[in-house]
Amino acid sequence: MSQHYPPQQFYPPTYTQVQDAEYANPYANPYAQNPYNQGPVHSVVAEKWNTKPSYQDLWAVILFLVHLVAFGVFSYIGLKELISKKELDSSISNLHLDSKAIALLAIVIFMGFILSLIYMLLMQRFPKPLITVTLYLSIAIYFITAAVYAYYKQYTLTIIFGIFGLIYLICAFSWRDRIPFAAVMLETVASITKKYYGTIVMGFVGLVLQVGWLILWVMSLVGTYRVFYDKANCSTINGQTTCQNLTPLYIVMIYMLFSFYWTSQVIRTIVHVTNSGVYAAYYFLEGTPQGTGSTPSISSLKRACTTSFGSICFGSLILALLDTIKAIFRIVASNDEGICGFCAACFACLLAWIESLVEYFNHYAYVEVAIYGKSYLRAAKDTWALIKDRGVEAIINDNLVGNVLVMGSILIGVICGLFAFGYIKLLHLPFEDNGLEVFLFVVVCFLLGLTMAIVVTDAIDSGITTTFVALAEDPGALARTKPQLFEKFRQRWPRVVQGI
């Protein structure tokens, strides 16, 4: 998209009247920074800020808790099976996890953490150079990594990173004109994160919960599968396995998959709603009589886990159902080469598209939940109407920050994966000649580094989302707290900042 600012004479007529004159200079209007010895500033949203929201979507909370109880029963059955047959000990003994391999995993986790913090500091101090460097350094590292893997005859990894390099090379040229606006946006959100570091802490809390949930779920899944597979009375004759009744096994496995998706979505959304509440408090309450409070992160977390928890469970339930159905179709497609498999693959693609739309929209709707404590359906409806009315969808589509955050996260993951590969080869780990195990270890280290980076970038992403909603709700609040960013919006998208 071209980045030319619209000529002044084409501004809507209402923008040039008295009503919009107050936005022409953000420092000379009621929303500007409050000078000393003057009264409190005015904020439209601050007046409507719900300090005592009521509980929303309680049915979703009850359903989620009932679902957790059912998972707890299956988890108990599965873990009991694993412990009784010592499956955990035998599984661990089959892995080549000597002291060097364990040290590698620990180093990669620490490296990912440090690189992520450095990336955050660079966002705060050098946003524009960081965006440019991230774009082109990512391309260079992808091609260098592909060359290294080609030298060691790891051709699968060579192809993967070569494709990444080509994709980002094309993207870099198409995104060049969008860098200045992205730099202002990134600097703005990063500065708020610096002031309220609880947003980053919340990200790491969410990460710990997600990892703990994943470990518990995997162990429960393996044990539960063994229990219900044995009950199916399966037997193998002449290489053919037949079972009397696999229906209970299928039902339990589908439920376990659904439970994984729903709980994971709830954890992730709690973090997003908490951080969105912090950013919203800054935009709307900074400098007002209400103020942001001494611990906005704790206050926002309390709302997310109590009055807004039902809305979180409701939205997460929709995504979990879509994920589960999509996974079922993909399993059918992979096991059937006929017309059924083809149809299942088509349905899986359709569901993936629908899911991406729902997830994208949920991200913005949850900001309304964080601000006003609305029910999920009302927040979704109001968010869509607000964004369409204000024209903010054009800004969302033109925003480069999300792409840069994804690139930065992948870049950190690639660095960790490349370090792991060099570590394995230089220290001659037991499996260095086993291509499959080397590949798996590199992928695991890549994912560890990526996960560490996502903790930081998710906090920034929540800030970007909240900024767009804040702009749509009350442009004056943004003019008061972040006048430089507001002026960028005013110059490029005058419709957004004109009076409602």
pLDDT one digit per residue (tens) for the chain, 500 residues:
334 333 333 333 333 333 333 333 333 343 344 433 334 444 555 555 556 678 889 999 999 999 999 999 999 998 888 887 665 555 544 444 566 777 888 888 888 888 888 888 887 788 878 888 877 887 888 888 888 888 877 788 888 888 888 887 887 787 777 777 777 788 888 888 888 888 888 888 888 888 889 889 988 988 898 888 777 676 666 666 676 777 888 899 999 999 999 999 999 899 999 999 998 888 877 666 565 666 788 988 999 999 999 999 999 999 999 999 998 988 888 777 678 888 888 888 888 888 888 888 888 899 889 888 889 999 888 887 877 776 666 666 656 777 778 878 888 888 998 898 888 888 777 766 777 777 888 888 888 888 888 877 888 888 888 888 877 777 777 777 778 777 877 777 776 666 54
d(CA 102, CA 106): 6
Reduced to 3 states (helix: H, G, I; strand: E, B; else coil), residue 249 is helix
pTM: 0.75
Rounded alpha-carbon distances, angstroms, from residue 277 to 58, 172, 268, 306, 470:
21, 33, 14, 14, 11
d(CA 300, CA 274): 5
To 10 degrees, the CA torsion angle through 204, 206, 211, 215?
A: 150
Q: Note the pLDDT of residue 59.
A: 95
d(CA 310, CA 269): 12
Neighbouring residues of 379: CB distance < 8 A, sequence distance ≥ 6: 311, 365, 366, 368, 369, 372
- What is the sign of the dihedral through the CA atoms of 155, 157, 163 and 165? negative
Amino acid found at 350:
L
- What residue segments make up the domains of the chain, in order of their start? 33-125+175-497
d(CA 242, CA 239): 10
Answer whether 276's CB lies under 8 Å from 462's CB.
yes
d(CA 251, CA 216): 20
d(CA 73, CA 64): 14
How does pLDDT run across 354-392, given as a tens digit for each residue? 888 888 888 889 988 988 888 999 988 888 787 777 666
